């Protein structure tokens, strides 16, 4: 599983709508409204590196109200959180 952290600057008057639209994109697992220089942080979790471009460049960047994005690819997770179980379909 590949994780990308996407910083999103959005039109201030559309932040809730932008967040909802981004959250509905396949491959986006979470969207957070944050304080600071950016407005939203989206976590993208996909199986293959080339899928990041499909999610971010082809879909997320085209959401009305998205002004700018900055994408960071995670190399390694240092959390005990089991990401695989979070995406389990319960089909053991």
Mean pLDDT of 56-83: 89
Question: Cα–Cα distance between 73 and 7 in angstroms, integer?
Answer: 11
The residues pairing with 31 across neighbouring beta strands, listed in sequence order, are: 42
Tens-digit pLDDT profile for residues 20-68: 999 999 999 999 999 999 999 999 999 999 999 999 999 999 999 999 9
Residue 81: pLDDT over 70 = no
Question: Cα–Cα distance between 86 and 34 in angstroms, integer?
Answer: 23
Close Cβ partners of 1 (under 8 Å, ≥ 6 residues apart):
45, 46, 47, 83, 84, 87
What number of other Cβ atoms are within 10 A of residue 89's Cβ?
5
Tens-digit pLDDT profile for residues 8-28: 999 999 999 999 999 999 999
The CATH architecture annotation of domain 2-76 reads: 2-Layer Sandwich (3.30)
Q: Say what the pTM is.
A: 0.84
């Amino acid at each position: 599983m590949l994780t990308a952290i996407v910083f999103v600057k959005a039109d201030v008057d559309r932040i809730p709508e932008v967040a909802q639209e981004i959250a509905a994109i396949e491959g986006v697992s979470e969207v957070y409204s944050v304080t600071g220089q950016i407005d939203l942080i989206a976590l993208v979790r996909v199986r293959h590196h080339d899928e990041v471009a499909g999610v971010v460049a082809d879909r997320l960047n085209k959401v009305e109200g998205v002004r700018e994005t900055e994408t960071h690819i995670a190399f390694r997770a240092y959390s005990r959180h089991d990401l695989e179980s979070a995406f389990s379909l319960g089909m053991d």
